[in-house]
Structures are given as structure tokens and as C-alpha cells.
Structure 1
Amino acid sequence: MLQRSLVLLKPDCIERRLMGQIISRFEAKGLNIVAMKMLRVTPDLAKQHYAEHVSKPFYPSLEAFIVSAPIVALAVEGLDVIRLIRDMLGATNGLNAAPGTIRGDFSSSRQMNLVHASDSPESAARELKLYFAESDLCDHELLLTPALRAGDEA
């Protein structure tokens, strides 16, 4: 099923200059980036994004981290993209992430794990609206799509 997911390249990804390497993995997999922007997460946006964590003891350090430097927000589209991206990221804690995954190759931290991705269609819909207006999304069919998947896989 064709889906969209929010992906955030977090402050540690930006600071370590890994944006291009990570985006290239999504592109190499045949995923379609339909929107992208660099921004600073405000404390208010952090509270909306991490609403389920605001009352938890670790939230203050999570907020301090996500507002500490710019992030890059991506709207990524593809078949079963929510599961696929999370598989590509690996375990949340980089120390537990398998080699070959983004976190397994580049992270050794639970919090500074480079990338956030939506974990369900419901989360994706909610999160995408936090970062992108409908007019920001650039729907288009890539010319190479027929070389990436069969017509009946759409």
C-alpha cells in the first residue's frame, strides 16, 4: 500500500553532517521525497510532536535535544513506507541496532539516534500536519517508478 511517513533528521544528524548519506539511502531504496525543509523545532512544536512523552521524566532532556539545533523534516512516500523506513533505521538505541541499518552504522545512543520516523499511519498523518501544509507536498510520479516496482504493486 502506498503510504507517507514523516522523517526527521535530528540535530545530531545535522551536526555530524550525515544528512546526505541518510537521504541517499531512502532514495536508493526507491522512496519518493515529496517535501523537505530545514527548520528549528520550538518548545511548543516539540510538545506537540512528543505529546505522549511530555509527562515522562525524560521529556525535558528530549525537548532540550530536539530544539538544540536545526532539523530537516521530510515527507517520504512509498509502498509500505512506514514499516520500511523503520526497518531501515534499526533499533531506537544505536547500540542495539543491526549493522547495515542507519542507526547501526552511525549511532551509539538511545537519544542521539539521528532520525525520527512515524510508527503508524495515524502517527504519520498527525506528524506530517505538524511540519507540512498540504500545499508543501509535491505529488509526482517519478519517471523511474516502473523500474522500481510492478504496476500491480501500487
Structure 2
Amino acid sequence: MTSAVEETLVLIKPDGVARSLTGEILRRLEAKGYSLVDLRMLQADRDLLAQHYAEHEGKPFYEPLVEFMESGPIVAIRLAGNRVIEGFRSLAGATDPTTAAPGTIRGDLARDWGLKVQQNLVHGSDSPESAQRELALWFG
């Protein structure tokens, strides 16, 4: 039985853009068989980021995270495929680049820079509900 095609939000964070890894990350998404439905590069403002990270407001990492995400351009991707939400999160690897497995985006391309916030290259929605909310924020 095949599952229905899902859509998810993938963000290439400012560190991925600054390190010229956008092409490599997109290559991995396409090699996995996912479809790039929409793609845009933008400088996210505080309002967009506050809405995106609303669930983390008040946590110690919230302000450094928002400041990091404001620090440079972001590539936002509407990605589609069977079980794409789960599949992308597996492809991305563990949140902490130090423990991310080889073969994953974070395991192969990210590292811990010893900064206040983890610069781990990518974000992916964690559930169908998050994907719907986040896609509406980033793509209207």
C-alpha cells in the first residue's frame, strides 16, 4: 500500500547558505526522490520568526535562535513526497551535529561551532500539523 503524498517545509538556515551548501542540500533532497514544489530565498524578519518559533518563546535558546535565523538569508522549500515529513527528518539527522549519523545532512556537513545556538544547517517540520502551519507562514 502506498501512502499519500505529503508536503513539508524545509529551511536551509543561514549557516547552510553562508557555507554555500544550498546546492548540495537540494541535490540530496532530489536524489531521495522528493519534489521541490516551491523554493524561495529570503531574509526572514523577526515577526515571521516569532510566529515560526512561537512554541519556544520564553525558553533560554529562543532569543539566540531568532537572532541566528535573522543573521542571513534563508532558503525556504516546499517539499513533497511519500512520507516526506518523516523521511526528511531522517535525512537531516539528529539535531546535534556532533551526534548526527554519517550519511545525513547534519552528520556529513554540520558541526558544533561552540556557539550559543546550534548551527545545524536545516529545519524540517516535525508533523503534518506543523507542516501545514509552517508552509502557510513561509509561503502564504
Q: Could you tell me which amino acid in structure 2 is paired with residue 106 of structure 1?
A: L
Q: Counterpart amino acid of 1:123? A: S
Q: Structure 2 unaligned runs (5+)?
A: none
Aligned mates of 1:74, 1:42 — CA distance in 2: 17
TM-score by length of 1: 0.85
Paired with 1:32 and 1:104, the residues of 2 have a C-alpha distance of 23
Within-5 A mapping of 1:113-124: 113-124=120-131
State the secondary structure of the residue aligned to 2:9.
strand
Aligned to 2:133: 126
Distance 2:138 2:61 in 1: 23
Q: Deviations over 1:39-77 (max 9, x none)?
A: 011111110000011111111100110000000000000
The answer as to 2:55 corresponding to 1:52 is yes
Uncovered stretches (5+) of structure 1, i.e. residues with no partner = 134-154
Are 1:25 and 2:28 counterparts? yes
Matched, 1:2 2:5: yes
Distance 1:96 1:40 in 2: 29
Number of the residue aligned with 1:89: 92
Say whether residues 1:72 and 2:75 are aligned partners.
yes
CA distance in 1, matches of 2:138, 2:122: 15
Instruction: Specify the alignment match of 2:39 in structure 1.
Output: 36
Could you tell me the percent identity over the aligned residues?
53
Q: State the TM-score, normalizing by the size of structure 2.
A: 0.93
Runs (4+) of structure 1 exceeding 4 A deviation are none
Question: Residue type of the partner of 2:120?
Answer: N
Describe the SS at the equivalent of 1:92.
Answer: coil
Root-mean-square deviation (Å): 0.8
Deviations 1:91-116 (A, max 9, x none): 00000100000000011136200000
